[in-house]
Chain A
Amino acid sequence: MRLYIKYISIHLKSQMQYKASFFLMIVGQLLLSFTVLLGLYFMMDRFKTVGGFTLEQVLLCFAVVLMAFSLAECFARGFDLFPEMISNGEFDRVLVRPRGIIFQVLATKVEFSRLGRLIQAAIVFTYAIPASGVIWTWDKILTLVLMVVCGALIFFGLFLVYAGFTFFTIEGLEFMNVLTDGGREFGTYPYSIYGDGILKFLTYVIPLALFQYYPLLYLLGKKKDIFYMLTPLLGLLFLIPCYLIFLFGLSRYKSTGS
């Protein structure tokens, strides 16, 4: 852990060397998802509700997903760049070092410019948290924290799967974007609006709905059952198959030799 903090501080220092470019990247990242927010606003302004959720409630959902995703992307960027690591042979160096592999890949890159999205999520939160009409008792606060933290971990799991597949394909698999970028993009609305089939898929196969839709119901008081509050924790089980896929890929690893 201490080593990881050391790595983080090194990355921060190195990225701060180019201050202007660093801040421009943050602004760029901020704008990038701003248009999504604008689109959401146009649609909600026209239709007022969707799937039984109001604008403020959808914004709450938007901010949770955006924050979870940007946290995952900021820290797990190493896995996003994994295809590069494999194809230029850098991964061989990782294998001979006396530290955990996942740890080392995590430590290769911490992308602070991704925090632009995090800032935007925080801004939306400051509006949506009071405006959503939720009475913020301790259990609601805990639910929100669980949603963001577990959401970040589930997205991290998806990055891990992506890296695992890279062992076979060498190239990155573009299709995984439907799950990662798509999960973020479509997570702006509660996953229930996409219909039962997709909700079931996102509950049992790729459990994105477990940190988004179900706890949101608890948060908004639509469901009183404490089970709904704890569904994000259930979603963490997803990390087990993700880890196994990564390990399986690792066992089949052949160096590209460059």
Chain B
Amino acid sequence: MSTYFSLLKMRFLNSLQYRAAALAGIATQFGFGFMFISQYLAFYRVNPLAFPMGIDQVVSYIWVQQAFLTLYMTWFFEGDIFSAIVSGQVAYDLARPMDLYGKWFCQCVATRLARAILRCFPVLILGLLLPKPYALTLPSDGLQFLLFVISSILTLGVVVAFSMFIYISTFYTLSPTGVRIISSVFADFMAGSIVPLPFFPDGFRQIAELLPFAAMQNMPLRIYSGNISGMEALYGIGFQLIWLVILVTGGKLWMKKALKRVVVQGG
């Protein structure tokens, strides 16, 4: 366990070095958040009754989404892992007395966590200071906030477990771009990053809510905004937990299989 912890710490400190990039990121996220909210406000003016969630819930959804973007995004991958597989460097990692799945998992978690911690507060504070209707509202009570934190942590696990599948597929394809773009874009959409799940048309929404992607940002964001609360939130967290276990177990099994037939390319 302590190995994983020091790995986590190392990665974390490494990512904290890029402060200028974080500043630029914050400005970008703030700009995008502002524009997205303006967009929903325009729809709200057309027909408030067709809104499946409260407008202040949508606003909170967007601010928290922008603040924790680096935690939730499915399209972010560790370049080192791909190059380790393609260049054959992975052979060294395999020689180490450490589970490769765990190592990569930790690495992904740490990078995302470090980036999110650097970036989230300015966006959240700015969001809280803005006047209505752009204002970010706080969760209704402490319990709701606690549920949001738990759900966020689970989301991080699910997203990383999902990306592990794409890393492992690189053992077979060696050229990750195609699969990577298509699967991550699809996952991102189904997780509610472009349009929140309640806005999906009936029928389509019910299917989307069963898929593992609904266990990603969809859950914590809707819990934070109060769209899901009480027992429903607990069910949601259970749903995330189930998918996390399935994805991690599946990923580990597949990795074992892939490593059996791994051919290290020269070098």
Q: Do A and B come from one complex?
A: yes
Interface set of A (CB-CB < 8 Å, partner B): 21, 24-25, 27-29, 31-32, 35-36, 38-39, 42-43, 45-51, 171, 173-175, 177-178, 182, 186, 189, 193-195, 198
B263 within 8 Å of A (CB atoms): no
Report whether A174 and B195 are in contact in the complex, using a CB–CB cutoff of 8 Å: no
The DSSP consensus for interface residues of chain A is helix
Report whether A198 and B35 are in contact in the complex, using a CB–CB cutoff of 8 Å: yes
Smallest CB–CB gap between B164 and chain A, Å?
21
Can you pick out 12 interface pairs between chain A and chain B where the beta carbons lie within 8 Å of each other? A25-B177, A27-B182, A39-B189, A42-B199, A43-B43, A174-B24, A178-B31, A186-B39, A193-B39, A194-B35, A194-B38, A194-B39
B42 within 8 Å of A (CB atoms): yes
Smallest CB–CB gap between B52 and chain A, Å?
8
Report whether B189 and A35 are in contact in the complex, using a CB–CB cutoff of 8 Å: yes
B200 touches which of A25, A36, A42, A194 (Cβ 8 Å): A42
Closest A residue to B40 using CB positions = A43
Smallest CB–CB gap between B122 and chain A, Å?
14
Q: Which of A27, A46, A171 has the most CB of B within 10 A?
A: A46
Knowing A42-B200, A49-B46 are in contact, say whether A171-B28 is a contact too (CB < 8 A): no
Closest B residue to A45 using CB positions = B201
Knowing A39-B195, A174-B21, A182-B35 are in contact, say whether A47-B50 is a contact too (CB < 8 A): yes
Within 8 A of A (CB), among B40-90: 41-43, 46-47, 50
Find chain A residues with CB under 8 A from B195 CB.
39, 42-43
Within 8 A of A (CB), among B12-32: 20-21, 24-25, 27-28, 31-32
Knowing A21-B175, A25-B178 are in contact, say whether A47-B21 is a contact too (CB < 8 A): no
Find chain B residues with CB under 8 A from A27 CB.
178, 182
Smallest CB–CB gap between B24 and chain A, Å?
4
B20 touches which of A45, A49, A171 (Cβ 8 Å): A171
Smallest CB–CB gap between B33 and chain A, Å?
10
Report whether A21 and B177 are in contact in the complex, using a CB–CB cutoff of 8 Å: yes
Report whether B194 and A39 are in contact in the complex, using a CB–CB cutoff of 8 Å: yes
Smallest CB–CB gap between B23 and chain A, Å?
9
Find chain B residues with CB under 8 A from A25 CB.
177-178
Find chain B residues with CB under 8 A from A46 CB.
50, 199, 201
B210 within 8 Å of A (CB atoms): no
Report whether B201 and A42 are in contact in the complex, using a CB–CB cutoff of 8 Å: yes
B27 touches which of A31, A32, A175 (Cβ 8 Å): A175
Smallest CB–CB gap between B17 and chain A, Å?
13
Closest A residue to B46 using CB positions = A47
Report whether A24 and B178 are in contact in the complex, using a CB–CB cutoff of 8 Å: yes
Interchain CA distance A194-B134 in the complex, whole Å:
12
Report whether A31 and B28 are in contact in the complex, using a CB–CB cutoff of 8 Å: no
B185 within 8 Å of A (CB atoms): yes
Find chain A residues with CB under 8 A from B41 CB.
195
Smallest CB–CB gap between B235 and chain A, Å?
25
